[in-house]
Structure 1
Amino acid sequence: MFVDLDRCVGCFGCEVSCKLEHDLPVGPRRMRVMQIGPKVAGGKLMTLYLPMNCMHCEKPACVEVCPTGAMQKRSDGIVFVDEKICIGCKSCIIACPAGSPQYNAKTGKVTKCDYCKDRVDAGLWPSCATKCAMKALSFGNINELSTVTREKMARKFGEMFFAEKAENLIKINDRGVKK
C-alpha cells in the first residue's frame, strides 16, 4: 500500500469503506487515519493525515506469538487472521508494534487489515484504495514506484516529523527524541 501524503485530506473515506467491506462494528478499525498536527514545519502551518493499516511485516511478531496459528503470513506477504481458529486471546494485539490487530467484541475474535485478500486474489485493489476520493492510496509493488515519487514522499514525511534542528533533539536508544 502506498500513501500519497500530498493527496490525503483526512476525509476518512478509507476507514468507512473498510468498515463496510468487512462489516465491522463501532470500535475495531482495520484502517485508521492518523492526524498529525497542526504544527509549524519549515515556516508553514501543516497538518498531515496518514492512513494507517497493517504493515504486513517481513517477520510479523503477531504471527510468532499466536498460540493457535490463526495469525498467518501468505507467500505474497499478506498477514491475516483466520477467524475460524482465533480464540481471541489478544496475544497478537500485545505483540504488534503498530497496533494493527484489533479486538472485535461482537465476534470475540481479532480482526486486522489483510489488504482485502479475497479482492486481491480476484485481481482487485483493497476496498480502501478503490474508494479513496482523492486517489491518495495505491496498491501494488512498492519497487514499481518511481524513485522520484519515493523521494518526494520521504521528504514530505521528514519535513513534518524532523523539522526541528538537531540540537533540539537528544539521543535515546539511537532515536531522536524531542526534549
Structure 2
Amino acid sequence: MPERVGLYPGTFDPIHNGHLDVIHRAARLMDRLVVGVAMSAGKGPLFSLEERVDLVREEVRPIAERTGTTIEVEPFETLLVSFARQVGAAVIVRGLRAVSDFDYELQMAGMNHRLDAEVETVFLMASERNQFINSRFVKEIARLGGEVSSFVPALTLERTLARVRGHTGEHV
C-alpha cells in the first residue's frame, strides 16, 4: 500500500490550538503529514517565515510523538498544488471553522483540482472548542493586552507576547 501523504498549509502567524487540533486529527489519517508554512508577506506577518517554521516545528513535535506519524514542517512560496507535488502529497488538508470558511475553501479546492486533478482536498471540521479561533484575532487581542492563553500553546504564547510587547529575541 502506498504511503498516505497529506499537506496541511497555512501561514501559522501564530499557530494556535485550532491549527494543532487539525494537525493532530490529520496525523491520525496519514502516514506522513507535511505542514506547509506559506510565505504570505502580503498579510504583514507578526513573525518571519523562519520564526513561524521553527515555532510550528516545536509545537507539532508532541503530536508526532503521540500519533507515531512523521510530521514535517516546510516553508513554501509556490502554488499549493506545486508544493503538494514537490512533497509527494496526494491530499491537501484544510480545516473548516464555520460556513463562511466553506465558501472560500470550496473555491480553492475547485481551483486546485483544475490545476492538478491527482491532488484531493479533504476538509476537517474544527472541534467545537476551537471553531472561533483564528490567528488574526489572537494577534489583535494580544496587542491590546487581552488574555490569549486559552487560544495558543505555551511556547507560542510566550513568543507572541514577547513580540507584541516589542521584544524581538528568540526567547524571553
Report which of the two has the higher share of helix: 2
- State the TM-score, normalized to the length of structure 1: 0.30
Report which of the two has the higher share of strand: 1
